[in-house]
Structure 1
Amino acid sequence: MTKFTDLLDGYRRFRSDHWQVQRERWNELKEGQSPKVMIIACSDSRVDPTQIFDTNPGETFIVRNVAALVPPFETTPGQHGVSAALEFAVQFLKVEEVVVMGHGSCGGCAAAL
């Protein structure tokens, strides 16, 4: 199992190995993002949309929630993280497609049912 210290080691590898290789890409992303696809995915640790779809940073806009649930739109005050991400993606980033990604053995779906 990954521990916090493993994350720190991974960050160090990223900075020493991957950062320099993709430096031009990171400089482009510094100026902004323009993904054409939004993915709404489960927050399950076994399911990583970037790995499954083999995408690079900046290519997809991803929001993750338990069981990939998108709560109903509400106009009442409160915290509406998924709907805020959806609105941002469609209105400001101008994504062209929204993919809701499900997966097998989802504990969130089992809990909801």
Structure 2
Amino acid sequence: MKIHPWLYLSCLLLATTVQAAPTSEEANLSLLLTQLNILESTLKRAEAQATVAPDTRFFFDYPQIYSDIHAMREGINTYLTPSRAQPRTVETFPARYRTEVAPQ
């Protein structure tokens, strides 16, 4: 299987972008969504340029990778924008009502 130079460069670009990632989880996941968009557009170019020789035994499964990218994108979007409010932490009382000294 021959790896095209543009595919190698795309992977390299994604790897260097991840190294310089923002610090918050939301920022990292938003960056990942952008990278998925870049990856999808690169795959579309690859699919358009793909040539299939009659004696080729294996083919790249473009519909499957598009499905996987879509599933990842949906999962990240669902996490970043939940459908309902998240439960908040309940503050506890110290529950120490007994003292050693009588009130004056």
Tell me the TM-score range normalised by the shorter chain.
under 0.3
What TM-score does the superposition give when structure 1 sets the normalisation length?
0.21
Relative contact order higher in (CA < 8 Å, ≥ 6 apart)? 1
Q: Larger radius of gyration, structure 1 or 2?
A: 2
TM-score by length of 2: 0.22
